């Protein structure tokens, strides 16, 4: 089989031949039909001290199962988060991380919706949104962000503001449900909002906090770091909440499954629709990563073996 790998920080990415993996206890062997490209994986390539497997979201058909697998069998269509080599023709997926793909959905739908949607929905839950409240989403054109815009609307936001790196993304963000769009470098981000879902971090934490109305909440769920001054929280009684999807997946599997089912229900109803920026072949993995790094993507970036 083919898989994408790199050997040193910063790449380059290259395609190599490798043996088809054998599923161990609790594992599914999946023939990958679609692979989601995410900012955390891109950052691992550029920042990790040593080369790591390119994992992430995969979707496809189960071709074999290891011992103790009870929920899936050969021929089932699944999606989930792969912690090993996921940029490949075949990948191993732990049964606990797998969920079925409905017959009406494609593999691309699955990788564009499920993991990114879970992160967006989890961050929204952490914000404790109230009916009619105003929301602001940073990274609003990203794979997670464009779903967060839609989910905020579904959960009753009275006004949704999308924050983006480039004004050229404004029409796209409005098309998925934002009432207003602001650019990071704008002098102000408009009228105050009740909560901010921040997918970027770093230098945007300060402006995000400043955009909050008194008593507002900022949910930080990016891997971009950043710092804020405690005094900025005291003024107006604002709060910052950290959200990590892995904690929910490992520690609250029932809630994780509930969110997955909610996402598929909203997808079936047409209330939430993932958008794919582009589909790339495995040998184009570097091009796919460049789309994420340069922040030109509008929606999800997907590899298609």
Q: Which domain holds residue 71?
A: 2-101+275-303
- Is the model's pTM score more than 0.85? yes
User: Is 154 within the bounds of a domain?
Assistant: yes
153 and 40, same domain (yes or no): no
Cα separation, 143 vs 292, in Å, equals 10
pLDDT for position 249: 83
Q: What is the pLDDT of residue 244?
A: 93
Q: Under 8 Å CB-to-CB from 155, ≥6 apart: which residues? A: 124, 129
Q: Domain boundary residue among 203, 230, 245?
A: 245
- Clarify whether residues 145 and 221 are in a common domain: yes
| 68 in any annotated domain | yes
Name the domain boundary from 227, 245, 263. 245
Q: Are residues 157 and 228 in the same domain?
A: yes
- 8 touches 284 (CB < 8 A): no
**pLDDT at residue 156, rounded to an integer:** 97
Note whether 47 and 95 are same-domain residues: yes
Residue 57, sorted as left (phi over 0), alpha (psi -120 to 50) or beta, turns out to be beta
287/238 same-domain check: no
Per-residue pLDDT of 129-144, as tens digits, reads 999 999 999 999 999 9
**Alpha-carbon span 35 to 86, nearest angstrom:** 7
Q: Tell me, yes or no, whether 139 and 179 share the same domain.
A: yes
| Residues 180, 64 within the same domain | no
User: Considering the domain boundaries, does residue 110 fall inside one?
Assistant: no
The Cα 244–Cα 238 span in angstroms is 20
3-state secondary structure of 258: helix
Q: Is 11 within the bounds of a domain?
A: yes
Closest-CA residue to 108 (of 272, 283, 302): 302
Instruction: Provide CB contacts within 8 A for 117, sequence distance 6+.
Output: 147, 151, 263, 272, 274
SS3 content of the chain, % helix, strand, coil (to 5): 35, 30, 40
Specify whether 135 is located in the same domain as 176: yes
Which pLDDT score, from 0 to 100, does residue 96 have? 86
CATH number (domain holding residue 23):
3.90.180.10
Q: Which two tokens stand for residue 200?
A: 């970027």
pLDDT of residue 202: 93
* Residue 39 shares a structural domain with residue 95: yes
Residue 107 falls within a domain, yes or no? no
Residue 66 within any structural domain of the chain: yes
The answer to whether position 83 is within a domain reads: yes
Q: Are 88 and 134 members of one domain? A: no
Domain stop point among 245, 267, 284: 245
For the chain, how many structural domains are there in total?
2
Secondary structure E strands in 95-164: 98-100, 134-138, 159-164
pLDDT for position 108? 97
Distance CA 51, CA 6 (A): 6
Tokens of 93: 């997926």
List of residues 6+ apart from 163 with CB closer than 8 A: 136, 137, 138, 139, 140, 181, 182, 183, 184, 189, 204, 208
The two three-digit tokens of residue 236, written as one number: 């107006």
Sites in the chain below the pLDDT cut of 50: none
Q: Is residue 265 part of a domain?
A: no
Same domain? 97 vs 143: no
97, 121: one domain: no
And the tokens for 47? Answer: 């920042």
pLDDT of residue 241: 97
């Amino acid at each position: 089989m083919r898989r994408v790998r790199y050997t040193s920080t910063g790449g380059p990415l290259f395609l190599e031949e490798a043996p088809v993996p054998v599923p161990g206890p609790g594992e599914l062997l999946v023939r990958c039909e679609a692979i989601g490209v995410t900012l955390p994986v891109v950052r691992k390539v550029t920042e990790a001290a040593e080369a790591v497997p390119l994992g992430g979201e995969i979707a496809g058909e189960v071709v074999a199962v290891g011992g103790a697998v009870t929920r899936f069998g050969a021929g089932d269509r699944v999606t989930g988060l792969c912690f090993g080599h996921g940029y490949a023709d075949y990948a191993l997926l732990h049964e606990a991380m797998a969920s079925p793909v409905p017959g009406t959905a494609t593999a691309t739908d699955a990788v564009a919706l499920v993991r990114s949607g879970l992160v967006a929905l989890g961050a929204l839950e952490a914000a404790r949104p109230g009916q009619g409240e105003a929301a602001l989403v940073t990274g609003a054109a990203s794979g997670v962000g464009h779903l967060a815009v839609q989910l905020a609307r579904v959960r009753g936001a009275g006004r949704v503001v999308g924050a983006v790196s480039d004004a050229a993304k404004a029409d796209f963000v409005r098309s998925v449900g934002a009432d207003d769009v602001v650019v990071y470098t704008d002098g102000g981000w408009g009228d105050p909002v009740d909560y901010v879902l921040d997918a970027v971090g770093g230098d945007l934490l300060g402006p995000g906090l400043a955009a909050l109305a008194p008593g507002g909440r900022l949910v930080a769920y990016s891997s971009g770091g950043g710092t804020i001054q405690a005094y900025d929280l005291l003024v107006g009684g604002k709060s910052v909440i950290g959200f990590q999807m892995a904690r929910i997946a490992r520690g609250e599997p029932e809630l994780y499954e509930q969110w997955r089912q909610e996402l598929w229900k909203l997808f079936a109803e047409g209330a939430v629709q993932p958008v794919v920026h582009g589909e790339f072949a495995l040998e184009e993995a570097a091009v796919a990563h460049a789309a994420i790094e340069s922040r030109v993507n509008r929606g999800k970036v997907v590899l298609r073996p």
